[in-house]
Structure 1
Amino acid sequence: WTPPADFDHQLTTWFFLAPAPQGTVRVDGREIAEHVWLTPAEALRRHAASDYTWFLPPTYVTLHNLQGFATVADALAAAQRSEPHFYETRLTVTSTGEEVALWPGDAGFETSNPDMPGPRHRLWATPGRPWSLERSSVSGLT
């Protein structure tokens, strides 16, 4: 994941898929303030029900992709069959004021024009409304 060029912090984000180790997580009050295990679907439900944003787009899309798998083994098997996907993000606003993150493959990506008709690869992320991922085609983990 690469943030938009005009972001203050240019930190590329990488996500790795692996089974969680056995044992307990120790809340240390510094790096970990609280801890809970959630399914991807439950994390997305809590995000949608919240008055504030829990996630940035990379986390949201990753959880969205993982919620379709019944087990960790299923997700790992799908990941082994697919190539990594790279996201270069462009944030923009539609003519009606909706915030949207565009990625390569979206008709509006090259020009940062979210109103352009055509294929979609975007995240609708208007504050105060549930986020929504829109893709013209989906195959496995993307």
Structure 2
Amino acid sequence: MGIGTLGRVKPESRRRKAVDSRLPPIFGAFADIRVTRCFAIFSFFSVLALPSLALAQSQGIDITCDPATRGSATAAERLICDHALLSMGYRRIFADQQRMLREQKITDDDVAAFRKQRDACTTLDCLDGVFSAWKQNTANLKSGRR
């Protein structure tokens, strides 16, 4: 230690105090690594997203988009896994089917027929048509027609 360093405040300690004063108390432990507002926001929303990810995994739809099983997947399953809109649409259809099965509005044979049509598809247009037909069928069931 030299004579000039005694009693002087190091510049880094002044900087640390400035960082500490801008952060909420919960982030005091992270002041040394300079937590930014983006990191705080990202952390907050990551914690909120965890339950929804767990729910999505626990839904248990009959299609698994696992890359390890991609080789055994049908063309329709690959298309659904590769296209977000198809995947979301299929999750809605699957949820509708499960609800309607519980309410006994449809039978397992209806679901099997839908899956047979779905698995026969090799193009996006075909899957879109099968999904649209299912939605039309659901609308007819809700209005009392079959």
Which protein is richer in helix relative to its size?
Answer: 2
> Which interval holds the TM-score relative to the shorter structure?
under 0.3
Which protein is richer in strand relative to its size?
Answer: 1
Structure having the higher Rg: 2
State the TM-score, normalizing by the size of structure 2.
Answer: 0.23
State the TM-score, normalizing by the size of structure 1.
Answer: 0.23
